[in-house]
Structures are given as structure tokens and as C-alpha cells.
A and B are shown apart, each in its own frame.
Chain A
Amino acid sequence: MSDHSHAVGSTHDHQPPATAHHGDDHPHGHGHGHDHGHEEHIPDSTFMKVFGALLVFTAISFAVNQIFGAKNPVVNFVLIGIVACCKAFLVMYFFMHLKIDWRKVFVFLVPICILAPMVIVVLWPDMVLAWRLASPDTAP
């Protein structure tokens, strides 16, 4: 663990402070800013493809709603939720540069991925299960 910390620290130590770059014309990798010396970037063509994919996913959520909206609300909810997660993934992975930055910011995002669903999970028993368990069907 200490080795790892040292490695991260060392990498950072080699970098000049961010302010030292202010006003220079140093070429940057897209989404990479001045965080590292090596160049990594996502090409514009990928952004265009992602934009197209986002539109396709939006159309898919409409189609799912048309097919399952009235017939099966639960399936509709789950499928549209999955499509929304795919869209959010595309935006975060490519547009927010997590493809490049994930290994640097995962320390914030992993706890959030656990804590955010917990907000819903802790409210579920009182707000949802209590009502469902008290329905006439389940009454003694």
C-alpha cells in the first residue's frame, strides 16, 4: 500500500505545478489537460459516434415505452432505466473523459456508486415495502 502511494506521489512529484503552465502553448491531449506528460486523447470522430449513439438510445427508450408502457410497467421501467444508464455511461466515459481519467478519479466515483443507490435502498422499506406489505392482499 505504501509502495502504491509512493508511486502515485512520485508520478505527481515529477509534474510541475498546474499554475506553472498558465499561459503557455504546451499541446494537450483532449480531456487530459496538463495532468500528465504523455498524450492521450479521444478523437472527434468518436464524439460524433457517441452523439449518434445517444440519439439512437433516446429513440430506443421511446420505442420501449410504446411497446411496454401500457402492457407491462415494470418491464418498461427496467428497460428504460437500463437505456438511461447506457446513455449516462456514454456521456461520462467519452464526453467527461473517464476513458482517460477513470484511474485518477475512481476514488470519488466508486464510493458514490455505492452511496447513491443506498439513498434509495434505505428509504425503500418505509416508503415502498410498508405500503405493499399492508395491502389487503397480504392482510391476515
Chain B
Amino acid sequence: MASVSVDEAKYTQRGIPVSNGKLAMWLFLVTEIMFFTGLIGTYIVLRMGTPEGAWPKPTDVHLSEALGAINTFVLIFSSFTVVMAHSAIARGDSKKCLTYVAITFACGVLFMGIKAYEYSAKFSHGIMPGYIADNLIDPSLRGVDTSRPEYKHLEEPEYARFIKEAGRHPYDPGSAQWFKAQVRQKLTPVAQPVIEQIAADETKAKEEQRILSPEERQELLEKIRNEAQSAEQKKALDCYEVVAAINGSGQSRPASALEIGIMSNKLNEKYHDLHLPAFIPYGNLWASCYFAMTGFHAAHVLGGLVVFAIILIHGLRGRLVKNAWNVSMLELTGLYWHFVDVVWIFLFPLLYLV
């Protein structure tokens, strides 16, 4: 038995010639590599698995290349400063090390600030998983639109049954009905002056005991268009045309959700302040991938910031002096931070460029 114990002791002393801390950090990092590979890999196969050119472009989902580039610079710079902090502490230059850690911390905060701004822009445009009108064409789980002539056979009771069986409410975010209702709700106040002008003519026609014919309505619209001078009046008219298409007034049928989706996108391009719900094919899939990847990455940045805050406090108390513990702490924290940088190096081109 004694000889076995000696052998065991020898065995436990063998192994990879790195410190326990570095061994633990590298083991942690390889699990992290697999974690992010799962996320990034899923994104790549989902994207490559969609029809050519159908995947949302960065501009479709309000992604700013400039902001992504700034964040890339910030993170690369912070990687540089953290490696310099480690170099400084190894030389015994505590002051310089503390300065570099402070810069790294500031870079991390700036990165999170820019990310928060980007997220708020997504939320204000309704770009969230499950909230994007991404399929207004087929009567699938999303996007059942009974106003399309080919689906006219799906009468209300049948449509209600279909939706019920699918476990969805007709006004679920992303459904065709919800989409049209949202667009109408946002456009009606802007189009109000035109709606009132047309209502006045309708009242006049009613007094003459007749209804406004489609031709008369068209003439009236032409007249309003010709008289429209200010940008505000022209905007009201553009918005009215979409509201009229949704309601079906003056037309043989209400426009389909797909048609409204295309109109809504054009209006969004023309008037940035409208913030209409966008019609983005594969938008929900994109949003799920985007928020999962960048969200987990941001959580890792936050984790790094907590460690840097602890190191900063440590340094401000005058304890960031050269010793094995501090050198190792800076090196291991740096390894983690560089890994976070490497993840962003792949996320940035995948989301903002290609």
C-alpha cells in the first residue's frame, strides 16, 4: 500500500507545467470558446440556411457600422492597455499599472454605453425577438392575413380557429393583423389633416344625399397633393395613403399585410421619426441571434468590469505592488479580457459587415 501512495504522490506532481491559476483560467476559456462557438456557429448555419439575399442587412435592422467600429477600436485598445498593465506590474511600476487598469475599465464602460445605446435604438424600432413582422406572406404561425384574395376562403370563424389551434392571439406581435393595426395607429395622427379634409367632403356629399365616388375621392386627393406646400403637409398625405390602403377606402380591397409592409418600410426610409414597425423577413431569427450573441458578450464584458473595479480599488488602497499574486491576477484577468476581445473580433464582422 505504501508504494502505491508514493506512486500517487509522484503522479499528482506531474502535469502541465503551468500555475494552477493559469491552468484553471485556460480550462475556463476553452469551455467559453465552446459556448461562443455554439452561439456563433448557430448564427452562421441559420444565416447560410436562408435563401440567397434574404437575411436582413445591417441597415434593415438599424445596425450602425460606425458604432460597431468604435466599439471594436475601444475593445482592441482596452486589450492593449490590459497587456501593458500586466507588463507594468511585472516591472514593478505600480502607478503605471493602475493607470492602465483605469483606462481599461473606462474602455469597458464606454463599450457597454455604446452597446446600451444600440440596444435602445433596436427597442425603439421594435426590433426584438418575436416582435418583428417577418412573415406577412403565408398563413403560417405568423402572418395570417385574411385580406389577401387567395386566403379569402379563410373566413373569420375559420381564421379564429386556425389562430386558436396555433396557440396564438390574432394580435400577437409579429402577426399580420397586429402589424397593420400598429401601422394604422402610428400613422393616423400624422395623417389627421388629410383625413379631416376628406371627411369634410364626405359630409358635404352626404348632405347632397350621395356618397363620394372613388373617382371623386381620387380627384380630391390630387387636389390636396397639388396644394400641399409644406413638408408637413406632404408627409401627412404620404401617411394618409398608407392608412387608406389599410382601411381599403377608395379601393376594391384593403391592401394585404405584405403590401403594407413594403409601404411601411418606404415610409420609414423617408421619415425617420415615424418609427413604424418594420417588415423584416427573417427579422425575428436575426434578432434572437443578435441579442443572444451580443447579450452574452456584454455579460462577459460586465464580468470583466467587476474584476477591474476590484483591481482598481485594490490599487487605490496602495496594494497593487509587484508580487506574485498581483502579477498573476493581472495576467489571468488579462487572459479573460483578451478572450472577450477575440469573441468581439468575430462578432463585429459577422453582424455589422458581411
What is A's interface to B at a CB cutoff of 8 Å? Answer: 5-6, 8-9, 11-13, 15, 18, 21-31, 33-36, 41, 44, 47-48, 50-51, 54-55, 58, 61-62, 65, 69, 73, 76-77, 80-81, 83-84, 87-88, 91-92, 94-97, 101, 104-105, 107-109, 112, 115-116, 119-120, 123-124, 127-128, 130-131
Contact = CB atoms under 8 A, between A and B. Distances in A.
Given A31-B331, A33-B327, A127-B49, A61 B349 contact: yes
B30 interface: yes
A61 B49 contact: no
B339 A21 contact: no
B34 A87 contact: no
Contact of B17 (A55, A84, A87, A104): A104
Contacts of A29: 90
A119 B325 contact: no
A92 B338 contact: yes
B264 to A, nearest CB: 25
Contacts of A13: 13-14
B6 interface: no
A137 B209 CA distance: 59
Nearest to A20: B324
Interface string B310-327: 000000000000111101
Interface stretch (B40-48, B195-203, B212-220, B242-250): B40-48
Interface in B44-81: 44-46, 48-51, 65, 69, 72-73, 76-77, 79-80
A33 B327 CA distance: 7
Contact of A119 (B21, B37, B73): B37
Given A13-B13, A35-B18, A115-B34, 18 more contacts: A11-B17, A12-B13, A12-B17, A13-B14, A15-B17, A23-B324, A31-B331, A33-B19, A34-B328, A61-B349, A87-B345, A88-B346, A96-B334, A105-B16, A116-B41, A120-B41, A120-B44, A127-B48
A95 B18 contact: no
Contacts of B98: none
B10 interface: yes
Given A80-B349, A92-B342, A47 B21 contact: no
A55 B349 contact: no
Nearest to B52: A73
A101 B18 contact: yes
Secondary structure call for the A interface: helix
Contact of A35 (B17, B37, B69, B354): B17
B83 to A, nearest CB: 5
B41 A23 contact: no
A44 B80 CA distance: 10
Nearest to B327: A28
Contacts of B92: 25
Interface in B4-49: 10, 13-22, 26-27, 30, 33-34, 37-38, 41-42, 44-46, 48-49
Nearest to A124: B45
